[in-house]
Structure 1
Amino acid sequence: MSTFGTYYRVSTFGESHCRAVGCIVDGIPPGMAIDVADIQRQLTRRRPGQSNLTTPRDEKDAVEILSGTEHNVTLGTPIAMMVRNQDQRPHDYTDQTLDAFPRPSHADYTYLEKYGVKASSGGGRSSARETIGRVAAGALAEKYLREAYGIEIVAFVSSVGKEQMHMFPDNDEEQPLTDEFINILNTVTREQVDADNVRCPDAESADRMRQRILAAKEKSDSIGGTVTCVIRNVPSGLGEPAFDKAEAMFAHAMMSIPATKAFEIGSGFRGTQVPGSRHNDPFVARPDGKLGTSTNWSGGIQGGISNGENIYFRIAFKPPATISQEQQTTRYDGEPGVLSNRGRHDPCVVPRAVPIVESMAAIVVMDLVLAQNARATAAAHLDPAAVNALPQSMRKHSTSS
């Protein structure tokens, strides 16, 4: 479906080479100051043509807010946002030879199998152009989360091909991630991420990644990579067990992004190599009277519910499927043949995927926040006597003296 979320509902529309793409957002609270610049900032980070590492398609991705605000204040009604496609070239896909082939690792064949028809140019709804609506909706959610809770969301490129940041210990130390990488998770800013066009905050790693992308581009090939995202200042108590656990919602959101192939949260797959005695996160008392954890291999979520620590996860993106090389494949009619692609495409998607990941993270957190607030508001109308009569082990209490 084209709608994500329950309390914060985002519906996207548009195809890669149609007249416009965008979204309709329902659930944003009324009374929030909002300006086009608040949305445009993230769209500009996502737009094509940013550097020699991305597709040369020249789209300004200028957003228009069509409804849901007045005098730059949200009304609480649905907000519609649109970006017009200005540099679409559907004629790049009208060659009879190209039209006879399902492009390898694209969605041409599967869309045709599902719907019986497909978009005649580009990837249609499977194109990354669809993510413009997600980024616009995420920027809106992020503004609320930042103002209401001080939540910070920062994503960055953590690997390209085999070139990666120093994430994992080099020796046999029984620790999933390096102290260096944990420090980056705790402190990295978007300014540091955007200081390099690879969008990796470590200069030495970024240079190696850049050379890997350029090497793929030189060969008319492509390469994949990973994006890591950290969410700081998240309130505890977010998540809706059993089926809408916080990590399940993040996984759902991230794996819906085009070209994603894997998702891990907290210590992830590396955590499977560490004994429980080293992997458990012991609780500690914080100065504010709440509990925290001395380590955070859980990635800020336990039992599907946020515990107040940083939430962090990593997403794998495959190499872009469109490459300017001849590929031996098979036509729709079953006859073997050679396909040569045209069009303008990224040799690696991960630098431009960074704001998309941040935006989907914001949409998930926004939905979880509104769900928890609805529950808390409903409970606040009840007489607290029943809860107060419960044993102390069954009810919330402060650790402060």
Structure 2
Amino acid sequence: MSKRILVVDDSATMRDMLSQYLQAGDYLVACATSGAQALDILKTERFDVIVTDLEMPELDGFALIRSISELDWDPAVILFTQHDQRTLHSARELAMAYSVNLLGTLTKPIDKEQLLLTLNDVAKTRSSARQGTETVLAETEFMRGLMTDGLAPVFQPKVNLATGEVEGAEVFARWRAPGGGLLGANAVVRVAREKGYMDVLTYRMLELAMEQQGKWAREGQDIQLSINVSSENLRKEDFADVVSGLADQFGVDPKKVRLELAESEFQVDERVPLEVLSRLHLRGFGLTLDDFGTGFASLIRLHSIPFDELVVDREFIGRAAEDKIARTILESAIDLSHKLELRCSCEGIEDLAQLEMVKSLKADVGQGYHIAKPMAPDEFLIWIEDYKDGVEKIEGLN
């Protein structure tokens, strides 16, 4: 079945031209003369793709992005403009902020082949992780599984980019579905956030991760783990005691545990998180500022808080090869981390080109599907042994 596309532009010439391009590609095309008219159409009709200009009178493309995010269905979106790349960059950031399924951005004059090539990606745009957010856990199911065997931690290797050695792993939450298989972290985090259980979820993940880590240590496997914590945890004055207690309970060296806090989670104006983080640092736990570049953490505050590692947000790594602004931010973040005597980790390395780029920029640690996927505990140990023996290879490191 041909895909339905809605073209939104206040220029009749542009609408006609795009309609001809799309119809030649065997798409079914409808048009709107403004963002406001597009919203009226979207109230009664559904489209696979919305192709819209950013600059329009009354309701522009930026406002339309917000409105698209509020629909009860999930169309793909292509944005175009006659303005510079900075405008398109802002539009991409806004689309990501609203979780809009952005296929791509184009500049006028629009090239027919480039437009059709962008549309060819419609079937591949929504990742399995995003699809996982549609799976909703009931609160009772979540709480019951949380205290029994619902959570299933998985481990994604982190490697030293200079030596190629495995430094440890980041722990991610998965959920054992009743019918078999695993649900992604989004399904778990969604109900935890909505019902106010983020601190409970983190405690349970810390417990399961350190329990596994202690088991590995007794088997002679010295593995450092990075575990995500939330701002809710840091607002609890006893959080450092809880983490220390778990390390003692499972025989884990605090120096082998890194606690990751997303920059967007960090509240720089609160005293309790600063006290908790300082106490954890004093007790030997590693502290990582995750997703650096996406939040609003003050650099002065970054200097005063005892983080010893920065993780550059994966979006900058994914776009740095083609986006000069993203590459500049990536390069600056790596340079800043070293000047502050922090290690710099790059997540979301998806291919050889990205690996070679972050290596050339002197990042310290790498992580992503090009290196290895997240794995169950037994699979993770097998992967480590195979990697040490040369059976598993990482292109660009071996």
Q: What TM-score range do you get, normalising by the shorter chain?
A: under 0.3
| TM-score normalized by the length of structure 2 | 0.21
| TM-score normalized by the length of structure 1 | 0.21
Structure having the higher helix fraction is: 2
